[in-house]
Structure 1
Amino acid sequence: MVGNKKLDVVIYDTTLRDGSQGEGISFSLDDKLKIAKKLDELGVAYIEGGWPGSNPKDLEFFRQVKNMEFKNSRITAFSSTRKAGIPIKQDNNIKTLLESGAQTAAIFGKSWDFHVLRALETTLEENLRMVRDTVSYLKDKGLEVIFDAEHFFDGYINNPDYALQVLKTAEEAGADWVVLCDTNGGTMPWEVEKIILEVKKHIKAPLGIHAHNDSACAVTNSLMAVRAGCTQVQGTMNGFGERCGNADLCAVIPNLELKMGLRCLPEGKLKNLTEAAHYISEIANMPHYNNQPFVGYGAFAHKGGVHVSALLKDALTYEHINPEDVGNHRRVLVSELSGLSNLLYKAREFNMDINNYDARTREVIKMIKELENQGFQFEGADASLELLLRKGFGQYEDFFKLNNLKIILEKSEEDNITSEAMIKVTVGDKVFHTAAEGDGPVNALDNCLRKALTEVYPEISEMHLTDYKVRVLNGNEGTAAKVRVLIESSDQTSKWSTVGVSENIIEASWQALVDSINYLLMKRRMPK
């Protein structure tokens, strides 16, 4: 029960354990606590905090998480069944799980006879005793117990009688949930549905699904499992996880709610999905997949002119849902593939009034395509695009003019390199001539330009460069290659991106930097 309304499907998030096993991901204790709070805000029913018996960090997580308030989520501790041949009260994993203080335990046990014999090197009968002893012992201690039947689908395909026997043992021992795991991620959707329908004939406990993505079927398998009768779905945010990852909850959740009409989050929480997905990517220090369905930055990005022309009439022509339903938003890109519709859409987005039959509009489109042919890319540089459009339609004038610029690099015998920029700019009828040093030529240029302009435009001091990217466009030209520079800037309330292109990296950086400052000054002076 969440928010006093029963959910049709319960979401069990294992980002903090299974997700942390993905290559390149290592959550600190503070990271885990922050993510747990964000998942609670999203409204998932269960948050698997980790395996307290496996490492000190996870045990400390459970100690600290007790001091946090959770409105929607139950914190779950993960562990294995007792070890073969060891009495349950002497098993260290079980002891540590109880010490964690978690009121819900997720226990995994083997359901594939091959794993029991080869991995555990014990008997099939002892494995059943391990499942029974662990589940019943934790139930006697007052815990809610979720039994994860590891390798269930492989086990069922190879020995259905034994796989079902494992499930029955867990159910008879009192398991609150029985979760069917596609641990190797190789089961096909039609197999998942067929097997679960058969399982339901024998198991009365609520069923769940835990799917891995090694065959790119984890989301589909999860949805098919729900169709077949599972009422719990386990997965990770952004599909993080070992090998090819787990079922991506960022796709599972909206498909359940928007496509299948099944409530799996408290009312109104689905709109938090995109923000939560990007937040967790940031904490994990992982790039967020641009084309990730539902929550990717490009999930609702439109580039083709024919598409945008239809979008202007009705968004349903090229979008399967309303982006705002999942907290995302529509983007229209302007590029060499653009037509008049793209330009009209962007102009509307920028609150510009232009005539689609005006000859100047056609000229602006032609100019954009020529610039893109030179290497400019406005898809990720909306600020530069808006400046370009306003200049093209005579709705903008630069705030300063460059007279000259000089940059000096000096290398000493001690291998120290210093950078100094000297600049002369004109603002109105006044000339400013300044110099500044920096960690590199671009930093020196940035410092120098700010120093020259801050007296007239003090708001520049509120602006910060937050990202700087360089891409070589024609590497076969060697050191004479053309480069594209993308700069991301921000102030207290917003962020914007600008672009510059040149064979000279300083010139490309200058273009992007000037656009960034001009954009800030323009926005500050526009009527609210």
Structure 2
Amino acid sequence: MRRVFIYDTTLRDGTQAQDISLTTEDKLRIALRLDELGVAYVEGGWPGSNPTDKRFFQEIRNYDLKNARIAAFGSTHNHRATAATDPNLKALLDSGAPVVTIFGKSWDIHVTDALGTTLPRNLELVGDSLAFLRPHVGELFFDAEHFFDGYKANPDYAMAVLARAFEAGADVLVLCDTNGGTMPGDFRHILRAVIAAMPEAKLGIHTHNDSGLAVANSIEAVALGAVQVQGTVNGYGERCGNANLCSIIPSLCLKLGLECLPAGKLPLLTPTAHFVSEMVNQAPPSNQPYVGDGAFAHKGGVHVSAVVKNPLTYEHITPEAVGNVRRVLLSDLSGQSNILYKAKEFGFDLDKNDPFVLELLTTIKEREAEGYEYTAAEASYELLLNRVLGRARSYFTVTRFRVLDDSSYEREEPMTEATVMIKVGGRVKHTAATGRGPVNALDKAIRKALRGFYPRLAEMRLLDFKVRVLSGKALDDCAPSGCGTASHVRVLVESGDASRRWVTVGVSHNVIEASFQAMEDAINYKLFSDDKEKLTKALKG
């Protein structure tokens, strides 16, 4: 089986994306996960450019990597100096990285306008830099920056740059579509020309996504013979991003039958993608191919009905192959198949002719017409399912609550106080609490009232809180100038404890009421889940 080497540059090129910044510790954790995934190369950064990258290369030596080789990145030497005296080349060697990648100019306008030197001098920079590094590193790669634009402008010069790099000892010549604007036809034509002119050279590919073609062009390069693919996890990178390895890797493995990860590692792809998105504090797009939450999500009733019979009807691969899962969503588009599938997930094997199925479907459609969203709030759905079935215990009843905001010039921030009256088993608790805003104060007051009855609520934490104004839900009697502020809102609350995370939903024209609904469901779900856990342990015991 032909092998393609995956070269990950998330820690360097990926950090050039807006809103992404990584500490040395972040980089180390990501590098270890990439090694576990089984990529061949992890580019740690540019050791000559900043202290964070320099420290990364010092620290990574303390780890025993099983699959990945660490690469250090830099440029050809300064055109006013020599390779032997260049501090950036020295920093590359001092990094101790077994692999070094340097980039050089292959587009003539970059040589003259950006670099400020002559075309012959640039050829010297490429050749001298690689020749200087060659005896000191295990593997040496050359990134021909802006190669495709350079070839279109001056093919002879772009090819001369590649030839000089090859003569100087580069193991792989990486052709870069740095501006990400090359169309597939031009891309294919240029690649074939390079292969014909330099059949003995090993080629790599590095594409950017400014035309939305980074993944497609990278796969085409491999199909034509490239042995190395550079990219980033989730496609992070400058401007529109780099080629997304989370799309490239499974396409190469599952579609083209090529080896690019060690055996058994592909199911780690989705967990790795999600881990990296957490580390860079970016929510991954739900519609991202292969690894997105929506990649194998089915909403329409006709789709779900077919998938239940044969997943191939609406899935191009099995989700488990890339570590993802099939999800069936509930909405006003739902049919009986959705209800049956979701009920089975929660342990209920229902018959399609069961009147309960129709009742639940009707309830969901009515509630979603009001603005409720169960696609994300599956904890609220599970509670609704059990309530309609008559299997949900009533843990408490909030008979009344009130929230007061008080602002004063003498205080730096407003004070919020929530008062609640809660009935538990015939007893009424009347408590109050202050908090940082109405949601926090209400959350504290409710749990303060309940903690004597349900001590395990102390484990529960509110993790995230989202408010969305629902268009088309403004009150009919509002004034034209005030309808926006009278609109319905949907609140999603994410909660968690030591072992679980769950999302609940509330809807109202009053944001505090909607928040209360979501928090009430969140607390009920915690208590409901704890009871299920106890019952499961008792049955096993």
Give the structure-2-normalised TM-score.
0.93
SS of the counterpart of 1:360? helix
> 2:478 is matched with which residue?
none
> 2:440 is matched with which residue?
443
Determine whether 1:356 maps to 2:362.
no
| Letter aligned with residue 256 of structure 1 | L
**Aligned 1:132-147 pairs, distance under 5 A:** 132-147=127-142
| Letter aligned with residue 384 of structure 1 | S
Determine whether 1:201 maps to 2:207.
no
| Letter aligned with residue 231 of structure 1 | V
* C-alpha distance in structure 2 between counterparts of 1:418 and 1:124, whole Å: 68
Q: CA 1:7–1:106 in structure 2 vs 1: closer, same or farther (change >3 Å)?
A: farther
SS of the counterpart of 1:201? helix
* Unpaired stretches in structure 2, ≥5 consecutive residues: 475-481, 537-541
* C-alpha distance in structure 2 between counterparts of 1:45 and 1:434, whole Å: 59
- Structure 1 residue 158, shift from structure 2 partner: 2.3
- Structure 1 residue 194, shift from structure 2 partner: 2.6
> 2:68 is matched with which residue?
73
> 1:503 is matched with which residue?
509
* C-alpha distance in structure 1 between counterparts of 2:323 and 2:357, whole Å: 33
* C-alpha distance in structure 2 between counterparts of 1:28 and 1:74, whole Å: 20
Determine whether 1:321 maps to 2:322.
no
**C-alpha contact 2:99 2:137 (8 A) present in aligned 1:** no
Determine whether 1:260 maps to 2:256.
yes
Post-superposition CA distance 1:97-116 (Å, at most 9, x none): 12222221101111222322
> 1:3 is matched with which residue?
none
**C-alpha contact 2:465 2:491 (8 A) present in aligned 1:** yes
Matched pairs, number: 523
> 1:431 is matched with which residue?
428
- Structure 1 residue 143, shift from structure 2 partner: 4.0
* C-alpha distance in structure 1 between counterparts of 2:355 and 2:136, whole Å: 79
SS of the counterpart of 1:287? coil
Aligned equivalent of 1:231, options 227, 236, 244: 227
SS of the counterpart of 2:234? helix
Post-superposition CA distance 1:194-226 (Å, at most 9, x none): 322221223212110001111110000000000
**C-alpha contact 1:7 1:265 (8 A) present in aligned 2:** no
**Aligned 1:76-475 pairs, distance under 5 A:** 76-203=71-198, 204-415=200-411, 416-474=413-471
* C-alpha distance in structure 2 between counterparts of 1:442 and 1:28, whole Å: 33
SS of the counterpart of 1:421? strand
> 2:3 is matched with which residue?
8
* C-alpha distance in structure 2 between counterparts of 1:198 and 1:422, whole Å: 75
- Structure 1 residue 427, shift from structure 2 partner: 1.9
* C-alpha distance in structure 2 between counterparts of 1:440 and 1:154, whole Å: 54
Post-superposition CA distance 1:39-89 (Å, at most 9, x none): 111111111111112222222221222222211111111111112242211
- Structure 1 residue 37, shift from structure 2 partner: 1.5
Q: CA 1:409–1:118 in structure 2 vs 1: closer, same or farther (change >3 Å)?
A: closer
- Structure 1 residue 122, shift from structure 2 partner: 2.0
SS of the counterpart of 1:466? strand
Aligned equivalent of 1:492, options 492, 498, 504: 498
**C-alpha contact 2:208 2:242 (8 A) present in aligned 1:** yes
**C-alpha contact 2:340 2:357 (8 A) present in aligned 1:** no
SS of the counterpart of 1:191? helix
* Unpaired stretches in structure 1, ≥5 consecutive residues: 1-5
Post-superposition CA distance 1:488-528 (Å, at most 9, x none): 11111111110000111221111111111111211222232
Measured on the aligned residues, the alpha-carbon RMSD in Å equals 1.6
Post-superposition CA distance 1:264-319 (Å, at most 9, x none): 01111111111111111111122211111111111111111100111111111111
SS of the counterpart of 2:458? helix
> 1:38 is matched with which residue?
33
* C-alpha distance in structure 2 between counterparts of 1:444 and 1:86, whole Å: 64
SS of the counterpart of 1:200? helix
* C-alpha distance in structure 1 between counterparts of 2:112 and 2:402, whole Å: 74
> 1:18 is matched with which residue?
13
- Structure 1 residue 7, shift from structure 2 partner: 6.8
Determine whether 1:47 maps to 2:30.
no
SS of the counterpart of 2:196? coil
Post-superposition CA distance 1:233-284 (Å, at most 9, x none): 0001111111111100010001011111111011111111111111111111
SS of the counterpart of 1:54? coil
* C-alpha distance in structure 2 between counterparts of 1:93 and 1:253, whole Å: 32
Moved more, 503-512 or 468-477: 468-477
* C-alpha distance in structure 1 between counterparts of 2:13 and 2:401, whole Å: 54
Moved more, 283-292 or 247-256: 283-292
* C-alpha distance in structure 1 between counterparts of 2:222 and 2:496, whole Å: 44
Determine whether 1:482 maps to 2:488.
yes
Give the structure-1-normalised TM-score.
0.96
